[in-house]
Amino acid sequence: MKKATPYLLGGLLLLLLLALLIGGNKNDFDHRVTLNKKDKIPYGTYVAYQNLPHLFPQAKITINKKAPGYWDEAVLDYDTGRQAIIIICKDFNASNEELTELFHFAGRGNDVLISSYDLSNDAQNFFHLDLSYADAGFPVFENFSELDTLNLGLMHPPFSATYNQYTYPGRKFNSWFNAFDSSMSYLLGTSGKSKPSYIRLRVGDGNFFIHTAPLAFSNYFLLHKQNMGYYSQLLSSMDAGASTIAWDEYYLHKPQSSGQKEPSPLRVLMEQRAFRMALLTALAGLLLFVLLGIKRNQRMIPVVAAPGNDSLDFVKTIGRLYFQKRDNKNLCQKMIVYFTEHVHNHFNMATGNMDGDFITRLSQKSGCSVHTIQSITDYIHFLQEAPAVRDRQVAEFYQLLERFYKTT
């Protein structure tokens, strides 16, 4: 035990250091991007959602969780105009069927605002767009290591020229339109100073508004300096007299398109501080166990086999000797003696009188059938009186006894 003390102390010190490193700072910045209206974390959209009644005081605010074409009438009336749906998500992976439904909805005099880092290939082809991304490859929203700066601007006109540049010291995760059809689209905003990031497409009596910086709706961005002005001006593009504003959650939770990889379950778990602490603690404990087990405390103790019971083998050997000498009478006498001793020692029964009562009691105690015990006692009576015993009779008696011994 004294030799293991340094290892135990070292292990405890290691666990303490790990706990301090992992869980010491409870005020760590939460980098998760959820864009969820219920989340008050930096990259949730609680502030944006709560301010909708102030921007649209005459509108009913609803929540949509279904695909276009399957909306509840209480959320959006498909055949009514002057409504709007706001879609804020990481990946707008709408199918052609869903895009067609949105197109018909907008054509009836409604507005559709889409703010997403990425648009599916179907969506880009549908709107005649081509996107470029601020981050190489596909976006990774769940894991941040460094901060950068998102810089957004609004065009004048139609927006105010007094203050139309907005920034914050958070993540970019924005994209821009590398190309768009200017004959059907009108530029409303930029990323940086010149990269198109907010356009309007006129559709019938309604509009599509496509925006490529969803983090502009995050709590962190809106609460930084005067950035609420960006939010209010951006939404002022929509019909101020709309009767219904639907906040969409269908595309927020819809699985990503096949071209992108969803975060692995392990990656999602590793984002949780408590899980990381538990995992590292378990690894540290395993390492400590290995270190303590490297040095053997004592030499190996050999396994000593338990002594076997050779009495039955001895009896069988003696029996073979008698059988080989053809002394059948004497052999059967020995078998009878061994049987009576076995009954006396194992079942505490007297064997002087092997009558019907003896047979019944022995059957109950041993579990052997009455028929087998009756045959054994009949053979014993016969063998004791017979002047000579044949080989066949020895074999039959032996088989009866073996059946009894195996049962008991």
pLDDT digits (tens, 9 = 90+) for 190-238: 887 788 999 999 999 999 999 999 999 999 999 998 899 999 999 999 9
What contacts 216, CB < 8 A, 6 or more positions away? 115, 150, 152, 166, 174, 222, 227, 230, 231, 234
Q: Does residue 304 sit within a domain?
A: no
**Residue 357 is assigned to a structural domain of this protein:** yes
Query: Does 301 fall in a domain?
Result: no
Whether 132 and 190 map to the same domain: the answer is: yes
Is 291 inside any structural domain? yes
Q: How far is CA 34 from the centre of its chain?
A: 19
Reported in sequence order, the residue ranges of 107-173 that DSSP labels E, i.e. its strands, are 111-119, 129-133, 150-154, 165-168
Lowest mean pLDDT among 157-166, 260-269, 329-338, 358-367: 260-269
pLDDT at 289 over 90: no
Are both 147 and 43 inside the same structural domain? yes
Q: How far apart are CA 51 and CA 274, in angstroms?
A: 33
More confident residue, 207 or 286: 207
Q: What angle do CA 209, 210, 213 make, to 5 degrees?
A: 130
Cα of 52 vs its chain's centroid, Å: 36
Q: Do 193 and 146 belong together in one domain?
A: yes
- Going by C-alpha positions, the residue among 114, 59, 52 that lies closest to residue 85 is 114
Average pLDDT over residues 107-128: 93
**Quick one: 321 and 291 in the same domain?**
no
Q: What gap in Å lies between CA 181 and CA 178, rounded to an integer?
A: 11
39 lies in some domain = yes
pLDDT band with cut points at 50, 70 and 90 for residue 303:
confident
Convert the pLDDT of each residue in 20-51 to its tens digit.
555 544 456 788 889 999 999 999 999 999 99
In a domain, 303, yes or no: no
Question: 7: helix, coil or strand?
Answer: helix
pLDDT computed for residue 308 by the predictor: 56
Whether 333 and 279 share a structural domain: no
Q: Indicate if 109 and 238 belong to the same structural domain.
A: yes
388: containing domain: 311-407
The H helix count followed by the E strand count for the chain is: 15, 11
| pLDDT at position 385 | 85
Q: Are residues 77 and 198 in the same domain?
A: yes
| Residue 296: pLDDT band with limits 50, 70, 90 | low
Cβ contacts of 278-286, under 8 Å, gap ≥ 24:
280/18, 280/22, 281/15, 281/18, 281/19, 284/11, 284/14, 284/15, 284/18, 285/11, 285/15
80 pLDDT tier (thresholds 50, 70, 90): confident
Question: Would you state the pLDDT for residue 258?
Answer: 46
| Same domain as 254, residue 324 | no
Residues 177 and 277 in one domain: no
Q: Note if the pTM is more than 0.75.
A: no
On whether residue 93 sits in a domain, the answer given is: yes
Element (H, E) at 248: strand 244-248
What is the average pLDDT across 105-126? 93
Read off the pLDDT of residues 120-153 as tens digits, 9 standing for 90 and up. Answer: 999 999 999 998 876 544 444 444 444 457 888 8
Domain shared by 24 and 37, yes or no: no
Count of structural domains within the chain? 3
In terms of Cα–Cα distance, which of 390, 257, 248, 241 is closest to 326? Answer: 390
